[in-house]
Amino acid sequence: MKVTSLAALLCTLPLVSHAAWFTDTPLQHTYQSLLDDQPQVAWQELQIALDQQTLDSEFWLPVKQEILSQTQCGTSLKQSAEPKHHIQVSFIRRYGLSSHGYQIKVSAEQLNKGLETQTLSLVSPKGKVLLDGQLASNNEYQEIETNEMFIKPESGVYQLKIGSNHYPIIVALNDSNRWLTLESKLSEPHIVLSPPKVIDNCPDANVSWQWFDESYNLLGYKVPIKTAQAAVPTESPLGTKAKHLSASVEMFEYQGAIEVQYVQRVAVPF
């Protein structure tokens, strides 16, 4: 890591975190590994620090983002075992009259045919099992999701377990900034967008309309929203099956082969 980049990082960190460079604080080894141009080791040290102590995400989120930036959005981070599925873990924040809360979803797409059935679970930083299911051998694609959650999921290290393999996932959830808002609800409703700043070397955020059937199953394809303000569509390209409409912003990062997605979604009148 270049010293100039590191200095820029220091300027963004709280004063308490600055002390980690000089004293024995939980993040000291993470910072030192970055100074030594070892982002993989820094990632492991960050996991250890968060496993050992409860730290507010404002102290460690900047260094997490710097590690991801240095590792091609996390794609070059190494894991003990490569999953046999393409795994996406989504942390979803919903806004709306009928659905207002959080949900966590794990989706899995088989990379190879003929895989054996595997157990899957997701454990919170405090050890609570949030998801528990199986990846069936005959399903090319499947999803396992929590019920609606009314309390924000905690930030920290989640443990994704697939078969006998464990994949730690470092997650910081901060929804104090809304990425999209529904305005003029009664007259000419429209969406106002304030997408998040994307980590360097990560994909741009996806902003789109999504139509659902009466059971809230996603229909067809997502329609991109390309302007900072967008009028709510009055018709669906999917015909009469479409009963619900949402606008969403999706931001992506990778932790090795695991794709982590952060979503904010607003239900709009349709």
pLDDT value at 176 more than 90: no
- Residue 167 shares a structural domain with residue 138: yes
Residue 102 included in any domain? no
Mean pLDDT of 236-260: 89
- Residue 215 shares a structural domain with residue 163: no
- Residue 11 shares a structural domain with residue 60: yes
Give the model's pLDDT for residue 165.
Answer: 93
Give the model's pLDDT for residue 42.
Answer: 97
DSSP state of 239: G
Containing structural domain, residue 213:
180-268
Q: CA–CA separation, 163 vs 129, rounded Å?
A: 15
Give the model's pLDDT for residue 9.
Answer: 53
- Residue 217 shares a structural domain with residue 253: yes
- Do 40 and 78 touch, CB atoms closer than 8 A? yes
Residue 101 included in any domain? no
pLDDT value at 15 more than 70: no
Structure confidence at residue 120 as a pLDDT band (50, 70, 90) = very high
- Residue 55 shares a structural domain with residue 134: no
Residue 61 included in any domain? yes
Average the pLDDT over each of 65-79, 95-109, 193-207 and give the range with the smallest value: 95-109
Residue 198 included in any domain? yes
Domain count, the chain: 3
pLDDT value at 94 more than 60: yes
- Residue 218 shares a structural domain with residue 255: yes
| CATH assignment of the domain containing 160 | 2.60.40
Say what percent of the chain tops pLDDT 70: 88
Residue 118 included in any domain? yes
Q: In the numeric block, which tokens belong to residue 183?
A: 């305005």
Residue 153 included in any domain? yes
- Stated pTM of the model: 0.87
- Residue 164 shares a structural domain with residue 136: yes
Nearest-5° Cα angle at 62, 247 to 75: 70
Structure confidence at residue 10 as a pLDDT band (50, 70, 90) = low
Mean pLDDT of 72-85: 92
Mean pLDDT, all residues of the chain: 87
- Residue 165 shares a structural domain with residue 187: no
Say what percent of the chain tops pLDDT 90: 61
> Which of these three, 121, 140, 171, is where a domain ends?
171
- Do 263 and 92 touch, CB atoms closer than 8 A? yes
Kindly report the number of other CB atoms within 10 A of residue 133's CB atom: 16
- Residue 190 shares a structural domain with residue 258: yes
Parallel, antiparallel or unpaired: strands 218-224 and 206-212: antiparallel
Average the pLDDT over each of 48-62, 152-166, 197-211, 227-241 and give the range with the smallest value: 227-241
> Which of these three, 134, 150, 171, is where a domain ends?
171
Residue 95 included in any domain? no
Q: Which residues contact 22 (CB under 8 A, 6 or more apart)?
A: none
Give the model's pLDDT for residue 89.
Answer: 98
Give SS3 for 61: helix
Give the model's pLDDT for residue 8.
Answer: 54
Average the pLDDT over each of 6-15, 140-149, 186-195 and give the range with the smallest value: 6-15
Residue 116 included in any domain? yes
Kindly report the number of other CB atoms within 10 A of residue 257's CB atom: 19
Give the model's pLDDT for residue 6.
Answer: 52
